[in-house]
Amino acid sequence: YPPERIRNFSIIAHVDHGKSTMADRLLELTGTIKKGHGQPQYLDKLQVERERGITVKAQTVTMFYNYAKHSSKLDTSAAIDTVRSTEECKYLLNLIDTPGHVDFSYEVSRSLAACQGVLLLVDASQGVQAQTVANFYLAFEADLVIIPVINKIDQPNANPENVKNQLKNMFDIDPQDVLLASAKTGMGLSAVLPAVIDRIRYPNGGALSPLRMLLLDSYYDEYKGVICHVAIVDGALKKGEKIASAATGQSYEVMDVGILHPELTPTNLLLTGQVGYIVTGMRSTQEARIGDTLHHIRTVVEPLPGFKPAKHMVFAGVYPADGSDYDALSHAIERLTCNDASVSVARESSGALGIGFRCGFLGLLHMDVFLQRLEQEHGAHVITTSPTVPYIFEYEDGSKIQVQNPAILSSTSGKRLVTCWEPTVIATIITPSEYLGSLITLCSERRGQQIEHTFIDDQRALLKYRLPLREVVVDFYNELKSITSGYASFDYEDAEYQEADLVKLDIMLNGQIVDALSAIVHRSKAPRIGREVVEKLKKLLDRQMFEVAIQAAIGSKIIARETISAMRKNVLAKCYGGDVTRKRKLLEKQKEGKKRMKRVGSVDIPQEAFHQLLRTT
């Protein structure tokens, strides 16, 4: 396949607008997968993706498509002269499915680096949503050809004309360029791939230049070892050749090379413009640096522009639920980070929870997905501390530290703190106008500053706010959804740090600080949060044989207090008559409960309490 017969494209959209379904249809249309075979959303391979119905990891697939050029209208501006005379041409199309959720925009920009164009899908009844806007700009800034597709036109409340207007108003998209389709019924789909071929330019690397390939992704396969997804930007790659990493200088032999069609299909050769996989002798995916440029050994090349590095927005401590499992957890985290290089990991310890890890995530959903994968794919049971955002604390002597764990602050208390800085984001919210009032209230409660307020048509408005990241991390999305009955959509990008009046909120049990429950909060919110945590903890803690004082404190100042009176917990008191088996069951249950306790000072905290509390503070 000469580059003129190759198209590399991606599908981008707001979540649930139909990317994965569209990808399925295109795979069927090209005979890459059999119709009705396999599961829907073929490219969503991970269990979490199937359960949550979201795409987390971008996947690549190669399709072959016979295109009879004369049968469709020619877009002269982008048409390719060389194929006009041929009646039917075979094209090689690389489709890269991308995740739609805000946390994974890192994956989206990564996918786009290997593309020359995108299909921008918009739901015909929901219209343009917050991630439509975000994804449009990612593609637009990357100078990609954008093919707008209004999907789900089969729906009874579809209003494609209205969506066309929105696309015109917001992105200056010519209504004539918009395709109408239904990934469900197949309506309009026959025009999609011809549009990809006609409008998207082919990858124009130097076929005769020295090899340069972009490392897109990597994962670990039990049988083959590390498998890398690559895009050949210049030159060609053959099996058996020796390549080197521009980032590390390390060299490797290419033991296998091929395309994803849709599974690994050896071809022994990849040419300019192609996307495929390689297997080298890499021992861990840590060696495979995403965004790295690979080249033949003994050649000197200019490295490709790489990717925006992942930015960690949320940090949390991850501890084994059972103290003895540290090694197992360590191993599980190592294996999983092989597959998700966007997580940062450092060792830490906690008085309450023992030895564990401080992990950095792209966002809360990313964190949830990571924890779920730890459990499902690697059998690790964990306790996580309250998620926090990376604050910057500046001291008297001019030194600054990034605080990823509130617990470390007590050890630096010798120096006088001068200024606290907190990360902020610019949030875009798209909402039906009737919810505007309550959303504005929500944003100001969350310490937001309004930047923009516009109407995108007669029923919908767009709001832009600068918000402290912490306020967004804690349940903002759920609140937004519940205020607007699910109709508003939301996306954010990171912005600068701003000065903030922050304090460290400690939770104490009988005078002893439970380090895992410490949090950094805005001074104005400390009393409320302190009260909530203390009340919740009272409900969650079992009565002990002695009185327990639960307190929230800022430094030495107590801001909330509850007391649990002493009582011996007696399971048998609830027992019914002399039923022996029931009695034994209850006793076993109590033993089971004991095992899952963490002891702080003399107080036992059930594991459940950490789970409940740590996710909400």
List contacts with Mg ion (CB under 5 A): 19-20, 55
Contact 258, 266 (CB under 8 A): yes
21 binds, among ligand GDP, Mg ion, none (CB under 5 to 8 A by kind): ligand GDP
Q: Is 490 helix (H, G, I), strand (E, B) or coil?
A: strand
Identity of the residue, 152 or 199, whose beta carbon is nearer to Mg ion in the bound complex: 152
Per CB under 6 A, does 151 bind ligand GDP? yes
Residues in contact with ligand GDP, counted by CB under 6 A, come to a total of 19
Selected from 182, 342, 518, 544, the binder of ligand GDP by CB under 6 A is: 182
Q: Report the run of H or E that residue 168 belongs to, with start and end.
A: helix 160-171
323 binds, among ligand GDP, Mg ion, none (CB under 5 to 8 A by kind): none
Enumerate the β-bridge partners of residue 605: 598
- Minimum distance between the CB of residue 19 and ligand GDP, rounded to whole angstroms? 3
Quick one: which of 421, 403, 423 has its CA closest to 518? 403
Instruction: Count other Cβ atoms within 10 Å, centred on residue 565.
Output: 9
**Residue showing tokens 């990008």:** 493
Binding track over 306-345 against ligand GDP, x by CB under 6 A? ----------------------------------------
Alpha-carbon distance values, 49 to 45, 97, 227 (Å): 7, 13, 21
- The one-letter code for the residue type at 207 is A
Q: Which residues contact 5 (CB under 8 A, 6 or more apart)?
A: 83, 89, 90, 91, 92, 202
3-state helix, strand, coil in the chain (%, to 5): 30, 35, 35
Beta strands in 540-595 (DSSP E): 548-554, 557-564
Identity of the residue, 181 or 509, whose beta carbon is nearer to ligand GDP in the bound complex: 181
Identity of the residue, 55 or 428, whose beta carbon is nearer to Mg ion in the bound complex: 55
209 binds, among ligand GDP, Mg ion, none (CB under 5 to 8 A by kind): none
**DSSP-derived secondary structure letter, 573:** G
Residues in 234-263 at the binding interface with ligand GDP, rule: CB under 6 A = none
Contact 98, 111 (CB under 8 A): yes
Q: Which stretch binds ligand GDP (CB under 6 A): 131-139, 147-155, 370-378, 486-494?
A: 147-155
Give the integer Cα–Cα distance in Å for 326 and 331: 9
Selected from 57, 110, 152, 229, the binder of ligand GDP by CB under 6 A is: 152
296 binds, among ligand GDP, Mg ion, none (CB under 5 to 8 A by kind): none
- Minimum distance between the CB of residue 574 and ligand GDP, rounded to whole angstroms? 46
Six-digit token string for 126? 């929901």
Quick one: which of 511, 575, 507, 510 has its CA closest to 545? 510
Q: Which stretch binds ligand GDP (CB under 6 A): 179-187, 246-254, 369-377, 508-516?
A: 179-187
- Minimum distance between the CB of residue 580 and Mg ion, rounded to whole angstroms? 53
Name the pairing type of β-strands 212-221 and 179-180: unpaired
**DSSP-derived secondary structure letter, 388:** B
Give the integer Cα–Cα distance in Å for 243 and 287: 14
Selected from 4, 154, 177, 377, the binder of ligand GDP by CB under 6 A is: 154
Identity of the residue, 19 or 312, whose beta carbon is nearer to ligand GDP in the bound complex: 19
- Minimum distance between the CB of residue 137 and ligand GDP, rounded to whole angstroms? 18
Residues in 63-122 at the binding interface with ligand GDP, rule: CB under 6 A = 100
Residues in 513-552 at the binding interface with ligand GDP, rule: CB under 6 A = none
Identity of the residue, 16 or 394, whose beta carbon is nearer to ligand GDP in the bound complex: 16
Number of residues assigned to the chain: 617
Identity of the residue, 112 or 439, whose beta carbon is nearer to Mg ion in the bound complex: 112
CA angle 106, 131, 54 (to 5 degrees): 70
Selected from 109, 155, 349, 510, the binder of ligand GDP by CB under 6 A is: 155
Contact 280, 226 (CB under 8 A): yes
Give the integer Cα–Cα distance in Å for 533 and 514: 12
Identity of the residue, 102 or 507, whose beta carbon is nearer to ligand GDP in the bound complex: 102
Identity of the residue, 20 or 132, whose beta carbon is nearer to Mg ion in the bound complex: 20
Q: Which stretch binds ligand GDP (CB under 6 A): 178-186, 297-305, 355-363, 415-423?
A: 178-186
Q: Is 30 helix (H, G, I), strand (E, B) or coil?
A: coil
Contact 555, 572 (CB under 8 A): no
Give the integer Cα–Cα distance in Å for 278 and 213: 11
17 binds, among ligand GDP, Mg ion, none (CB under 5 to 8 A by kind): ligand GDP
Enumerate the β-bridge partners of residue 60: 96
Identity of the residue, 54 or 456, whose beta carbon is nearer to ligand GDP in the bound complex: 54
- Minimum distance between the CB of residue 338 and Mg ion, rounded to whole angstroms? 23
- Minimum distance between the CB of residue 501 and ligand GDP, rounded to whole angstroms? 40
| Residue 451 main-chain phi, psi, to 5 deg | -115, -35
Identity of the residue, 55 or 551, whose beta carbon is nearer to ligand GDP in the bound complex: 55
- Minimum distance between the CB of residue 158 and Mg ion, rounded to whole angstroms? 20
Q: C-alpha dihedral over 225, 231, 235, 238, to 10 degrees? A: 30
Residues in 6-65 at the binding interface with ligand GDP, rule: CB under 6 A = 13, 15-21, 41, 53, 55
- Minimum distance between the CB of residue 18 and Mg ion, rounded to whole angstroms? 8
Identity of the residue, 22 or 279, whose beta carbon is nearer to ligand GDP in the bound complex: 22
Alpha-carbon distance values, 69 to 5, 75, 449 (Å): 12, 11, 53
Identity of the residue, 19 or 466, whose beta carbon is nearer to Mg ion in the bound complex: 19
- Minimum distance between the CB of residue 184 and ligand GDP, rounded to whole angstroms? 3
- Minimum distance between the CB of residue 284 and ligand GDP, rounded to whole angstroms? 31
- Minimum distance between the CB of residue 400 and ligand GDP, rounded to whole angstroms? 40
Identity of the residue, 32 or 274, whose beta carbon is nearer to Mg ion in the bound complex: 32
**Would you tell me which residues interact with ligand GDP (CB under 6 A)?**
13, 15-21, 41, 53, 55, 100, 151-152, 154-155, 182-184
